[in-house]
């Protein structure tokens, strides 16, 4: 997403945040390998060392680079599933680190990795089949708001940064801790903005974030109120339509009942008339026979 207005805040621009994350990760990789660049080592050894010590940053870098192309946008959900698996591995590694060396830094790193895993999982799986099939909306972690996750990651990461600055004694370590803190905060902000877009139904989960250009933090409440009003109006109109349909159906049923009653009454009348006619015929025939019998008796006398 490109900034269309000068007064748009950069921290509400997902595309700009993605580019900043790419730049920060690149700086982290370069600074971490700066001592090898100045020394006489082969290119192969340099690449192997980058992969061994910066595999975490490399995977995130590939993820954000892919989002800048149509291929990454097309397979956005699949990339998110792979990132979730990647964060699960990172959390497991952090847990083993805490078990092997229980320190404040390792404990804060474990907590931060856990928050990022849960936050990413419950944000980027919304709207997918996995979310519906496994009923993840009923998860206990889903009851916490997006603001809560973002603020929690922010507090934990700043605390971890302060502890890292105290424990480090080199310039490279200071720069690495600083850029790593910035990277984590930007990544959490990226998840937060995406959750806002999902809440406002402003994006499709199969597309990139670069299709919308509103100020999320300023207008999110207005959009939510507008959406709620429209939702309530739709519910009221739907209820009114259903009541009208039900009333019409009741009227139709009453008309049909009236018709059935008329038919049954006509049938009863016709049956009673037929019976009456038959009775009259029988009476007439009996009277006629009696007259004949009486006339024959008179003649016999």
Same domain, 116 and 135: yes
Same domain, 132 and 233: no
Among 6-15, 56-65, 221-230, the minimum mean pLDDT is found in 221-230
Same domain, 108 and 224: no
pLDDT above 70 (res 231) = no
Q: Has residue 246 been placed in a domain? A: yes
Share of the chain above pLDDT 90, in %: 34
Residues 6+ apart with CB under 8 A from 151: none
Average of per-residue pLDDT across 219-226: 49
Same domain, 226 and 186: no
Q: Has residue 84 been placed in a domain? A: yes
Tell me if 111 sits within 8 A of 155, measured CB to CB: no
Q: Has residue 224 been placed in a domain? A: yes
Average of per-residue pLDDT across 245-272: 65
Same domain, 47 and 195: yes
Q: Has residue 1 been placed in a domain? A: no
Domain stop point among 179, 194, 214: 214
Angle among Cα 146, 119, 10 to the nearest 5 degrees reads 60
Residues 6+ apart with CB under 8 A from 230: none
Same domain, 32 and 111: yes
Same domain, 104 and 27: yes
Average of per-residue pLDDT across 61-67: 94
Q: Cα(95)–Cα(114) distance, rounded to whole angstroms?
A: 10
Among 91-95, 143-147, 215-219, 263-267, the minimum mean pLDDT is found in 215-219
Among 52-66, 76-90, 94-108, 269-283, the minimum mean pLDDT is found in 269-283
Same domain, 223 and 200: no
Per the prediction, the chain carries an average pLDDT of 75
What is the span of the domain harbouring residue 269? Answer: 218-301
Q: Cα(68)–Cα(61) distance, rounded to whole angstroms?
A: 11
Among 20-24, 28-32, 132-136, 283-287, the minimum mean pLDDT is found in 283-287
Q: Has residue 243 been placed in a domain? A: yes
Burial degree of 198 (CB within 10 A; 0-12, 13-18, 19+): middle
Q: Has residue 105 been placed in a domain? A: yes
Share of the chain above pLDDT 70, in %: 58
Split at pLDDT 50, 70, 90, the class of 283 is: low
Domain stop point among 191, 214, 237: 214
Same domain, 195 and 148: yes
pLDDT above 90 (res 275) = no
Tell me if 115 sits within 8 A of 138, measured CB to CB: no
Given phi > 0 = left and psi -120 to 50 = alpha, else beta, which region is 214?
beta
- pTM value surpassing 0.75: no
How many structural domains is the chain composed of? 2
Domain stop point among 214, 233, 267: 214
The better pLDDT of the pair 34, 179 is held by 179
Among 39-48, 132-141, 154-163, 201-210, the minimum mean pLDDT is found in 201-210
Same domain, 96 and 199: yes
Same domain, 126 and 170: yes
pLDDT value, residue 214: 46
CB neighbourhood size of 32 (10 A) = 19
pLDDT above 60 (res 218) = no
pLDDT value, residue 258: 67
The better pLDDT of the pair 16, 266 is held by 16
pLDDT above 90 (res 227) = no
Split at pLDDT 50, 70, 90, the class of 170 is: confident
Same domain, 226 and 196: no
pLDDT above 70 (res 98) = yes
Q: Has residue 5 been placed in a domain? A: no
Among 46-50, 217-221, 261-265, the minimum mean pLDDT is found in 217-221
Q: Has residue 64 been placed in a domain? A: yes
């Amino acid at each position: 997403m490109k900034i269309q207005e000068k007064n748009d805040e950069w921290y509400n621009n997902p595309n700009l945040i993605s580019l900043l994350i790419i730049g920060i990760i690149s700086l982290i990789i370069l600074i971490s390998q700066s001592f090898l660049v100045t020394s006489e080592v082969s290119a192969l050894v340099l690449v192997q060392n980058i992969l061994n010590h910066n595999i975490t940053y490399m995977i995130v870098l590939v993820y954000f680079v892919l989002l800048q192309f149509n291929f990454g946008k097309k397979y956005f959900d699949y990339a998110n599933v792979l990132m979730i698996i990647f964060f699960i591995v990172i959390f497991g590694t952090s847990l083993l680190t805490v078990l092997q060396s229980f320190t404040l830094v390792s404990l804060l790193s474990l907590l931060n990795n856990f928050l990022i895993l849960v936050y990413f999982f419950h944000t980027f799986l919304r709207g997918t089949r996995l979310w519906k099939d496994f009923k993840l909306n009923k998860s206990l972690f889903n009851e916490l708001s997006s603001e809560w996750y973002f603020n929690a990651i922010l507090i934990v990461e700043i605390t971890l940064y302060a502890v890292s600055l105290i424990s480090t004694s080199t310039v490279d370590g200071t720069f690495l801790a600083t850029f790593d803190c910035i990277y984590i905060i930007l990544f959490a902000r990226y998840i937060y903005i995406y959750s806002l877009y999902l809440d406002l139904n402003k994006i499709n989960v199969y597309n990139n974030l670069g299709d919308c250009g509103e100020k999320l933090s300023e207008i999110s409440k207005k959009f939510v109120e507008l959406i709620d009003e429209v939702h309530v109006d739709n519910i009221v109109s739907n209820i009114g339509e259903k009541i009208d349909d039900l009333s019409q159906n009741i009227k139709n049923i009453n008309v049909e009942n009236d018709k059935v009653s008329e038919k049954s009454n006509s049938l009863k009348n016709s049956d009673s008339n037929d019976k009456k006619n038959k009775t009259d015929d029988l009476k007439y025939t009996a009277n006629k026979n009696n007259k004949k019998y009486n006339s024959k008796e008179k003649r016999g006398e």
